[in-house]
Amino acid sequence: MTDFGLSPLPNLDLTPLAFTVTGIAMAWSLFRFRLLDITPVARHAVVESMSDAVIVLDKHNRITDLNPAAQRLLGHTLSELVGQPAAQVASAWPEQVERFRGATEAHEEIVLTVDGIPRSFDLRLSPLSDRRGSLTGRLIVLRDITERKQAMEALERARQEQGVSARENARLYLEAHSQRQYFEALMNVCPVAVVRTDVDDTIVACNPAFEHLFSYTQAEILGCNLDEVVSTPAYRAEASSYSTRAQQGEVVHALTRRRRKDDTLVDVEILGAPVVVEGRKVGIFALYLDITERKQAEQAVRASEARKGAILETALDAIVSIDQHSRIIEFNPAAQNMFGYKREEVLGQDMAKLIIPASLREQHYSGLAHYLQTGKGPLLGKRVEVTATRADGTEFPVDLALADIPLAGPPVFTAYIRDITERKQAMEAIEQARGWKQ
């Protein structure tokens, strides 16, 4: 305005005055709308929301500020911790407190026990200075790296295991390659049926035992799907599942049934395993063991056990079995009726204390000890008349036959007991009648 002669005061330059007014207006705006507070507010929000524990100490090692993560780590609120000595607050970690007591700067990994569990932390210790460069305190930042360490350790273990596996696979391949002819010869004389398939479950080879078990020749089944050859529709899903699991690297073991060429079923024990060459799956080996005779033997044993159980349950004589410690291991229904005990009451109990009179118990124990030492017993294999005791304490005469059961392991003894009370009474009555006649 002065340059163009438009100023109301020709001799006065208004430019400085205009800049002054503008500066005042801008300063008023900054403080009025708190524009200068945005950065500190943002920084405070970041620190408050950090998962890292942040602790501020003054030059006397007292806590002046800490964020929520640090409060959770120390187990106290801000109001409880501010002004407290750091050594007192962190008394649970005396070794670390002493180690970093005088340090102004550090960056290393430490272990702190939190809630009874050791956890790994990345520690950063930084000095705090005023404008003149004088030390005013320290800043501590603790980052929990436990999960990261665990993940790294797991990764390292996986790498090591992978390396071991790779070396083992290489060793196995070299060994298999060098012994291929031997293996093929062994497979041909192996009594177990063996078949090999490719990755599509197509048969590529089988041994003579497989041909014998399923009544196919190798020429008939080469190129055929294994599951379609040896399984019926009822077992097809199961067979396919086993093949899939073996192709995926699992060793499959199962008892099942498979089909012969004439459509008859045979009981087999199956073992399926992947074939790996140079770390690459090339198919599976399937082994089939004919367990027909084993199944028949098991059925025979079950039938025998059922018959024995029926005999035991229906026997009129009491049958009591004990082990080498005189503990009852069998107590049939007739024994329950005779002695007045329930089976579940006496199992595992000392027989002598339940059914042998007190006057005869020592004789029982000494006879048992003699047998355990010599293998001989005076009552074994004989039928004798003795006295027994019921649950109510009454004594009665019995006819006893004792046998040792020849089983693998510790000896087992079985007593066959018959109540002869009525027989004794009848004999006494006869004797009395004879006496009267005389």
Residue 76: pLDDT band (50, 70, 90) is confident
C-beta separation of 13 from 2 below 8 A: yes
Q: What is the mean pLDDT of residues 362-387?
A: 87
Residues in contact with 377: Cβ distance below 8 Å, sequence separation at least 6, in sequence order? 367, 368, 370, 371, 402, 404
Using DSSP's 3-state secondary structure scheme, residue 220 falls into: helix
Residue 44: pLDDT band (50, 70, 90) is low
Domain boundaries, the chain: 1-33, 43-144, 180-295, 315-426
Give CA separation, 232 vs 140, 323, 410, in Å. 72, 49, 47
Other C-beta atoms closer than 10 Å to the C-beta of 93 total 16
- As a whole number of angstroms, the distance between CA 7 and CA 14 comes to 8
Q: Give the percent of the chain with pLDDT over 90.
A: 41
Q: What is the mean pLDDT of residues 92-116?
A: 88
Q: Could you tell me the end-to-end alpha-carbon distance of the chain, in angstroms, rounded to an integer?
A: 172
Predicted confidence (pLDDT) per residue in 290-301, tens digit: 999 998 888 888
- As a whole number of angstroms, the distance between CA 349 and CA 241 comes to 50
Task: Give me the amino acid identity at 25.
Answer: A
- As a whole number of angstroms, the distance between CA 403 and CA 305 comes to 19
For the domain made up of 43-144, give the CATH fold.
Answer: Beta-Lactamase (3.30.450)
Predicted confidence (pLDDT) per residue in 299-315, tens digit: 888 887 788 778 778 88
- As a whole number of angstroms, the distance between CA 355 and CA 345 comes to 13
Q: What is the mean pLDDT of the chain?
A: 85
Residue 176: pLDDT band (50, 70, 90) is low
Burial 101-137 (b: 16+ CB within 10 A, else e): eeeeeeeeebebebeeeebbbbbbbeeeeeeeeeeeb
pLDDT at 355 over 90: yes
Phi-psi region for residue 127, left (φ > 0), alpha (ψ -120 to 50) or beta?
beta
Burial 335-358 (b: 16+ CB within 10 A, else e): bbebbbbeeeebeeebbbebbbee
Own/partner pairs, 231-238, CB within 8 angstroms, 24+ separation: 231/258, 231/259, 232/259, 232/263, 232/265, 235/259
Of the ranges 148-152, 180-184, 270-274, 320-324, which one carries the lowest mean pLDDT score? 180-184
Q: What is the CATH number of domain 180-295?
A: 3.30.450.20
pLDDT of residue 318: 92
Take residue 138 and report the two structure tokens written for it.
């320290």
What CATH class has 315-426? alpha beta
Is 43-144's fold the same as 180-295's?
Answer: yes
Residue 7: pLDDT band (50, 70, 90) is low
Residue 225: pLDDT band (50, 70, 90) is very high
Q: What is the mean pLDDT of residues 84-112?
A: 88
Q: What is the mean pLDDT of residues 212-230?
A: 94
C-beta separation of 290 from 267 below 8 A: yes
- As a whole number of angstroms, the distance between CA 267 and CA 252 comes to 16
- As a whole number of angstroms, the distance between CA 54 and CA 65 comes to 8
C-beta separation of 211 from 218 below 8 A: yes
pLDDT at 36 over 70: no
Sheet of 383-389: strands edge to edge? 328-331, 318-322, 412-419, 395-405, 383-389
Residue with tokens 């140079």: 278
